[in-house]
A and B are shown apart, each in its own frame.
Chain A
């Protein structure tokens, strides 16, 4: 190898280094930078913050894991907020799954008006949460609400029931709001899953004498398992972050603001977080500790729900 050859080969390596290989990096750079600045940095910074006591204005005081200790051992509202969130999730996840699947199955086999049914069911999903909050708080108002008026008209109630100030009915209404909003989305996802199932399986089943519910139970449902796993895991993650519905149900009126609903029965983890950082308090460090605790809860619950919903073979 003579000198000239070395020169050209190093030139080509240089050229190659700045050649086509760099394009992927260059093209992903905007995202990576934006991600670093607006996602990664805040995520890491809020962890650091969770080890401090800080109100945003005065000096930060390092207090180690004290925020976490206090949160998990001495804050009854935090524990209550976790319980509330889990209770409401237990109310809306199974119902949305089952109803979504049935609705999808029914709609899928419709010959007429399929598009219309689809559109109607997806409408709540694209309605703004603020409007949903208003609709439900008007509907369940105990003095002027439609639900009470109807029930009194039919003679089922003597006096209006105080829906929004009862522990269990308030949770049920929030669950209802979530179900109402997400049903269309679940339906669409299930219908997408149904489209993928090959028709010859159904034909084979028909030849073997399977009909109606049996086919649905033995063919459709097992083949939609992956879809269900996806929906369960995403709704567990979304459910743990429940905030819009309860907050809007109790903050819809201009002036009234009952943080946490009746006796904190509707206080969710995120609401507690918002309350600690911006509403009742300004404890940014403590609120960050809530956020990180929620993160850990979400990891645990998504793993659990994944393990529970997937079949044993898939897991291996």
Chain B
């Protein structure tokens, strides 16, 4: 009672005193406690809603979540609201208005989701039956896991009717699930080669021309020979790679032999050759001792302590120029010994229980596959589509200088990837075990850096036992 009265006095001040009847106070304090409860529960509910629709783009009244069944041939006939979970706000802010020029009646609601929490959020969303995105992104780190969850629709079926021969051949395994269905399209292709320091190459090897460098390191054995030469000439000041992590991701990525069959995971096939070569490099002393993404690793780019850094098309912006802002002109791009590999890359799929599949596909197809979308994507964000036809129609676009060509000593980066890296590349079939392999690699290579005496056999055994710990249901070979 007393608390109720005090609350009332606080809320209503003097007017309460005027109407101070027992009846009112009882009624009012009851009402307050009920409204407290309501606001408490309401606050929780709101909290969730805010998360769901955070950063949603614009708000139009026509937000009924059902695609019109009108013919998809006329873009203006397609009307719906689609939900997209993406982490790249710059991309969505640029692409959605462009998309709406062609599809004015499809409203795209964006929720910004950090890639590290993405799968967790998606799973909780599906498990709890709350809102789930129509357009789902699968970053390299969890792409295989996402495909194996079986939540993405088969894009070769209606209403999408995607044609797998329309994309670059090597990318097909990266967008297929274990049943062989295409369940996503690539946000951008990520073929990778090595970024190299032109000044160091010129100084120690006498050339900074990519074509000449290719000839110096056609195989890994040549790579080690040149690396030893580099180490000796520089008195140990300049080495080939900043650390075992960089070398291992290349070697691992180059071997695209399928190694997963159901729950049978053949680690030996996938990794024994890679670890062997990695340790050969380590023993030759041509690798640094930095862990990936540490401050020492980042600052090494500007310092010129290492010759090579594995780099995909997103690298010039996010990786090289970001860590070596003063380095314009002193970088180059050369392909890796033996064969190209992929680094990073995001797959974009459609939720199989989505109610707006046609509209979601209209967006995905426009943004990542169509000619207009791909053009916009390349010009504004440097993203290269996986669509084959685009490269034939827009050849001139890639022949013209790109935004980072200047930084790379005037080398045409896109053309180099297209002509020198992509043609011989092969793709790796995806499964949930890829992320386990990545996680185990990430936790083991620092130990191999620390204890340089470990043998290939011991390292492989350790790898297998760690795999077994992380994936107890699998048979590890």
Classify chain B's interface size. 35 or more
**Contact between A70 and B472 (Cβ–Cβ < 8 Å)?**
yes
**Contact between B469 and A76 (Cβ–Cβ < 8 Å)?**
yes
Contact mask for chain B residues 5-44; partner A; CB cutoff 8 A; 1 contact, 0 none: 0000000000000000000000001100100110011001
Q: Does B234 contact A (CB under 8 A)?
A: no
CB distance from A166 to the nearest CB of B (A): 7
Q: Residue B292 contacts which of A30, A74, A162, A255 (CB distance < 8 angstroms)?
A: A255
With A253-B293, A258-B443 in contact, do A165 and B449 touch (Cβ < 8 Å)? yes
Q: Does A12 contact B (CB under 8 A)?
A: no
Classify chain A's interface size. 35 or more
Contacts of A70 in B (CB 8 A): 472
Q: Does B70 contact A (CB under 8 A)?
A: no
CB distance from A109 to the nearest CB of B (A): 43
Q: Does A141 contact B (CB under 8 A)?
A: yes
**Contact between A57 and B439 (Cβ–Cβ < 8 Å)?**
no
Q: Does A193 contact B (CB under 8 A)?
A: no
**Contact between B439 and A263 (Cβ–Cβ < 8 Å)?**
no
The 8 closest A-B pairs by CB, nearest first: A143-B296, A30-B37, A56-B127, A255-B293, A56-B123, A258-B443, A144-B296, A278-B120
Contacts of B469 in A (CB 8 A): 75-77, 264
**Contact between B41 and A162 (Cβ–Cβ < 8 Å)?**
no
Contact mask for chain A residues 282-303; partner B; CB cutoff 8 A; 1 contact, 0 none: 1010000000000000000000
Contacts of A77 in B (CB 8 A): 469
Q: Does B1 contact A (CB under 8 A)?
A: yes
Q: Does B446 contact A (CB under 8 A)?
A: yes
Q: Does B290 contact A (CB under 8 A)?
A: yes
**Contact between A280 and B127 (Cβ–Cβ < 8 Å)?**
no
Known: A55-B149, A263-B443. 12 other contacts (CB 8 A): A20-B1, A23-B4, A57-B123, A74-B472, A76-B469, A141-B294, A144-B294, A165-B450, A255-B292, A255-B293, A256-B292, A282-B149
Q: Does A213 contact B (CB under 8 A)?
A: no
A26 and B443 alpha carbons, distance in the complex (Å): 54
Q: Which of B427-477 contact A (CB under 8 A)?
A: 435-436, 439, 442-443, 446-447, 449-450, 469-472
Q: Which of A137-164 contact B (CB under 8 A)?
A: 138, 141-144, 162, 164
Which of chain B's residues has its CB closest to A54's CB?
A: B127
Contact mask for chain A residues 41-83; partner B; CB cutoff 8 A; 1 contact, 0 none: 0000000000000011110000000000010001111000000
A23 and B29 alpha carbons, distance in the complex (Å): 9
**Contact between B126 and A56 (Cβ–Cβ < 8 Å)?**
yes
Contacts of A279 in B (CB 8 A): 439
**Contact between A75 and B472 (Cβ–Cβ < 8 Å)?**
yes
Q: Does B150 contact A (CB under 8 A)?
A: yes
A-B contact pairs, 20 of them (CB 8 A): A26-B30, A30-B37, A33-B41, A34-B41, A56-B127, A57-B127, A57-B150, A142-B289, A144-B296, A144-B299, A165-B446, A166-B450, A253-B293, A255-B292, A262-B443, A264-B469, A278-B119, A278-B123, A280-B435, A281-B471
